[in-house]
Structure 1
Amino acid sequence: MPTESSRARATQQTRDRILDVSLDVLGENPDAGMGDIAAAAGVVRRTVYGHFPSRLDLIQTLTERAVTEMTAVLTEVDASGPAADAAWAAFVARLWPVAHRYRVLLALRRGEYGEAIHGLLGPLDELLAALVQRGQDAEVFARHLPAAVLSQLAYGVVFAVADSDLANGTLGARAAAITSLLMLGVPEARALALADDRP
């Protein structure tokens, strides 16, 4: 007979599997329904709804998970105190392994769940804007746009490259780092050097 802890562990594993599968399913089709997610996860719809009472609950949980992961990466990179452009390049390199998984949030952010996703991404957006502001203050990033706008453009480019890379697999973290650094106004030679310095 299963113990309470083994049941709880199994329940958590099912929930985690649903979340992982949801990113893949929504990544291929942002309009996919709960039934599509249930089928891909190998569970019945009732199981999905047992963990996430609505599609919005599921998407909010995915967003919270993404924000937690990305904020941890950015905080760790930025806390080490490198120049802002080096910190950005390190952030992209560390983010890249999960960037393709979370690119769907950008698509969903423009849809019916935009307000909820935007609210949850707020703290990450503020950290990115602060890093870009630091770079502007140090004159390593361009000043033609406010830091909050410029950071979103450069951040969006990383996910656009991730989206393209998923289809043909020819780009990668280096391309994402270089392109986003160029968007931030970093000279090409410096962008190339920073990207090549990353693992």
Structure 2
Amino acid sequence: MPAESSRVRSTNETRDRILDVALDVLGENPDAGMGDIAAAAGVVRRTVYGHFPSRLDLIRTLTERAVTEMTAVLTEAEANAIDAAADAAWVEFIARVWPVAHRYRVLLALRRGEYGDAIHSLLGPLDDLLAALVKRGQDSDVFAQHLPAGILSQLAYGTVFTIADNDRTTRARGARAATITSLLMLGVPEARAIALVDDQP
């Protein structure tokens, strides 16, 4: 039994290492193949395919992991800002989700490619939570109402990923820029957006 447990643990560690390395490799080159990922992870291609039968399976797993992490962050941010205005809740969410968005920034590029439909469907629960937050802001006249909440939330959140994808080194500055820019896209006046961000601990 202990040997079996050790084998399972080792298998899970290898799988997690492949996923972590895949994020790095794909982050540098979204077109990287399974062989590139295997080489970077220090394993043979057969090992990668043993865990992920196709590149799509690997992308799906990365997306599922991203959705789980980002959903947890949004849920916690909403709980912490339950009595706050929607724009303040948005700032809390972006501050907490920035490291996650930065880590999974490659999904933005992959979402525009052949895996777009798969990624889009997996991101559905997170999209719904973001739309609900934006709708709360629209209902209280905090966010603009010229677009439906679902579209507006995607535009604002897409901005966060775009800035994360172009900010490889200055993460603190990038997080500030992403938060202010996304607030502006949501219709928050610039002075209010800057004040909200500067009030963050």
- Give the TM bin, normalised by the shorter chain: over 0.9
Aligned residue for 1:43, secondary structure, equals: coil
Cross-structure match for 2:127: 125
Cα offsets for 1:72-112 (capped at 9, x unmatched):
11111112312110111011000111212111111111111
Matched, 1:172 2:186: no
Alpha-carbon distance in 1 for matches of 2:162, 2:38: 28
Q: Root-mean-square deviation (CA), in Å?
A: 1.4
Cross-structure match for 2:54: 54
Aligned residue for 1:143, secondary structure, equals: coil
Where do 1:69-84 residues align within 5 Å?
69-80=69-80, 81=82, 82-84=84-86
Alpha-carbon distance in 2 for matches of 1:98, 1:67: 10
Cross-structure match for 1:185: 187
Q: Is the 8 A contact 1:161 1:171 kept in 2?
A: no
Alpha-carbon distance in 1 for matches of 2:25, 2:199: 34
Cross-structure match for 1:142: 144
Q: Is the 8 A contact 1:150 1:184 kept in 2?
A: yes
Listed as ranges, the gaps of 5+ residues in structure 1 are none
Mean Cα displacement is larger for which, 6-15 or 55-64?
Answer: 6-15
TM-score, normalization by structure 1: 0.95
Offset, 1:26 = 0.8
Alpha-carbon distance in 2 for matches of 1:179, 1:116: 28
Offset, 1:197 = 2.0
Matched, 1:12 2:16: no
Alpha-carbon distance in 2 for matches of 1:147, 1:60: 26
Q: Is the 8 A contact 2:108 2:162 kept in 1?
A: no
Alpha-carbon distance in 2 for matches of 1:67, 1:170: 23
Cross-structure match for 2:99: 97
Paired AA for residue 18 in structure 1: I
1:171–1:164 distance in 2 versus 1, CA, 3 Å: farther
Offset, 1:170 = 7.5
Alpha-carbon distance in 2 for matches of 1:38, 1:108: 19
Aligned residue for 2:35, secondary structure, equals: helix
Alpha-carbon distance in 2 for matches of 1:164, 1:31: 17
Offset, 1:195 = 0.8
Alpha-carbon distance in 1 for matches of 2:152, 2:169: 27
Alpha-carbon distance in 1 for matches of 2:61, 2:187: 34
Aligned length: 198
Listed as ranges, the gaps of 5+ residues in structure 2 are none
Offset, 1:171 = 3.0
Cα offsets for 1:122-178 (capped at 9, x unmatched):
111111111001000000001111111110010011111111211665832111111
Paired AA for residue 88 in structure 2: A
Alpha-carbon distance in 1 for matches of 2:127, 2:171: 28
TM-score, normalization by structure 2: 0.94
Alpha-carbon distance in 2 for matches of 1:14, 1:125: 31
